[in-house]
């Protein structure tokens, strides 16, 4: 489903090249639960951005859902993101002027899938996540754990093929963090592909497969 071959990524400060990824080969299959670990600044977020089609590799090939990503237009990339990927971020990133339910429905504004009964579906997911009484609350009225669960609900509403989470527990206390990771594990058991980027060693225990990024290279730390 996800295939990276010799992917490099550099940023430029003036003339100076700062290599972040120095050649990553990676293949992820449907149904996997992958943890990408590494110290901060190791390039794990950059990798996630490339996998999530938010950023482009400087060189190398990326094939997503059997499609070569190189050379796709902004609109094609946007459509791929919408149809196949659900994002979860460290700081939740809910829109402050929308309530929980509206935040969950956001991806459907751009969706072409024609999800049936979207509001009922969103309520169903939020209810499952224990937010039945918070449907109409604004993000500012929710706790961190609640906000992150709304964000995960948002990631699920459009039936994505893969969920990408960047430090999803980074802004939460360890108990709430574990609850969120437990939620990811359940979703994976239901067959969803999940990729979590983290520097937190405790989180790594949840993954079936753990990768480590170091000095711009990727290593297989454990594989089932």
Cβ-Cβ contacts under 8 Å for 139 (sequence gap 6 or more): 92, 94, 95, 96, 98, 100, 103, 147, 150
The CB-of-65 to another protein minimum distance in angstroms stands at: 15
Nearer to another protein, 87 or 129 (CB): 87
The CB-of-96 to another protein minimum distance in angstroms stands at: 7
Nearer to another protein, 187 or 210 (CB): 187
Nearer to another protein, 28 or 106 (CB): 106
Burial of residue 188 (CB within 10 Å: 0-12, 13-18, 19+) is: buried
Q: In 3-state terms, what secondary structure has residue 96? A: coil
- φ, ψ for residue 14 (rounded to 5)? 65, -125
Beta bridge partners of 37: 198, 212
The CB-of-196 to another protein minimum distance in angstroms stands at: 16
Q: What angle, rounded to 10 degrees, do the helices at 144-156 and 118-128 form?
A: 140
Which residues here bind another protein, judged by CB under 8 A? 49, 52, 54-55, 74-75, 78-79, 81-83, 85, 87, 89, 91, 93, 95-98, 102, 106-107, 109-112, 114, 154, 158
Characterize the bridge pairing of strands 33-37 and 209-214.
Answer: parallel
The CB-of-223 to another protein minimum distance in angstroms stands at: 28
The CB-of-49 to another protein minimum distance in angstroms stands at: 4
Cα Dmax for the chain: 54
Nearer to another protein, 192 or 206 (CB): 192
The answer to whether 21 and 44 have CB atoms below 8 angstroms apart is no
Nearer to another protein, 76 or 182 (CB): 76
């Amino acid at each position: 489903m996800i295939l990276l071959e010799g992917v490099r990524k550099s940023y430029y400060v003036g003339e100076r090249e700062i290599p972040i990824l120095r050649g990553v080969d990676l293949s992820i299959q449907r149904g996997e639960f992958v943890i990408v670990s590494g110290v901060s600044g190791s390039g794990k977020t950059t990798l996630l951005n490339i996998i999530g089609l938010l950023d482009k590799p400087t060189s190398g090939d990326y094939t997503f859902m059997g499609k070569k990503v190189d050379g796709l237009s902004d609109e094609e990339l946007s459509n791929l993101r919408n149809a196949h990927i659900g994002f979860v971020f460290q700081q939740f990133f809910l829109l402050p002027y929308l309530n929980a339910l509206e935040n969950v429905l956001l991806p459907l504004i751009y969706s072409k899938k024609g999800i049936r009964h979207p509001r009922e579906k969103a309520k169903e997911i939020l209810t499952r996540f224990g937010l039945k009484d918070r449907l109409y609350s604004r993000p500012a009225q929710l706790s961190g754990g609640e906000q992150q669960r709304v964000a995960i609900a948002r990631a699920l509403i459009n039936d994505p093929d893969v969920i990408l989470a960047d430090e999803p527990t980074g802004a939460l206390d360890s108990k709430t963090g574990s609850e969120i990771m437990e939620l990811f594990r359940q979703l994976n058991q239901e067959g969803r592909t999940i990729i979590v980027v983290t520097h937190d060693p405790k989180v790594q225990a949840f993954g079936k497969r753990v990768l480590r990024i170091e000095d711009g290279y990727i290593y297989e730390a454990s594989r089932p």
